Amino acid sequence: MSIVSPDSARLPQARSLGSQILRDLAVLVLLAIASLAAGLVMNRFSPSPLPIVYQAPEQRFDAELTTLVAAAPFKIAPAATVGLEEFRSAVESKSALILDARPSVFFGQGHVPGALNLARDDFAHDYRDLAGVLQDAHDKPIIVYCSGGECHDSRLVANALLSLGFGNVSVFTGGWDAWSAAGLPASTGSGR
């Protein structure tokens, strides 16, 4: 005859399989919570942390493009510039891709013939729309203009294009004001 102590009833072998599985599942949940906490801490100290809400590659590219043209004017690197005569010659000979950096509403009212609208204020959207044309013109000179005078849009767009790998980008500083004041031809409409 064997003597069974009260403690022996609590031995693991006496536990039901079901309750053991439930206990294991509870530990599993704790492990998952601890892992998520560890992941969030590592992300906090990562050089390129993920945002909490996922962004698709297209959204990330748009955000990156928007950042490229969001620099404060005093931080804009000086881009190469061209004068009216050189610009006019490039327009007439179609030797360069002409980009208008003004908002689309102004572009629609009047722009340099042959120019395409790559608006600074809708850069990501326009850049994706023009991706094919821009890619074809990768090795061609690109000249960007905006209103003229103190406008910064052309320099922001030019620098963004330089950052994106376009090698021959310059700015027509006279802009639309100088072009129209010289009585040169103009086009209207979206140009698309």
- For other proteins, the binding residues (CB under 8 A) are 11-13, 15, 17, 20-21, 24-25, 27-28, 31-32, 34-36, 38-40, 42-43, 46, 48, 50-57
Q: Which is nearer to other proteins, 21 or 131 (CB)?
A: 21
List phi, psi (to 5°) of 49: -70, 150
Positions of E strands within the chain: 80-82, 97-100, 116-117, 142-145, 169-172
Q: How far is residue 155's CA from residue 58's CA, in Å, rounded to a whole number? A: 25
Q: Could you tell me if 141 and 168 are in contact, meaning their C-beta atoms sit under 8 angstroms apart?
A: yes
Cα–Cα–Cα angle for 120, 121, 125, rounded to 5 degrees? 85
SS3 62: helix
Q: Which C-beta is closer to other proteins: that of 54 or that of 74?
A: 54
Nearest approach, Cβ of 66 to other proteins (angstroms)?
Answer: 19
Nearer to other proteins, 39 or 83 (CB): 39
What is the closest distance, in whole angstroms, from the C-beta atom of residue 5 to other proteins in the complex? 13
CB-wise, 51 or 183, nearer to other proteins?
Answer: 51
Q: How far is the CB of 48 from other proteins (least distance, A)?
A: 8
Q: How far is the CB of 103 from other proteins (least distance, A)?
A: 30
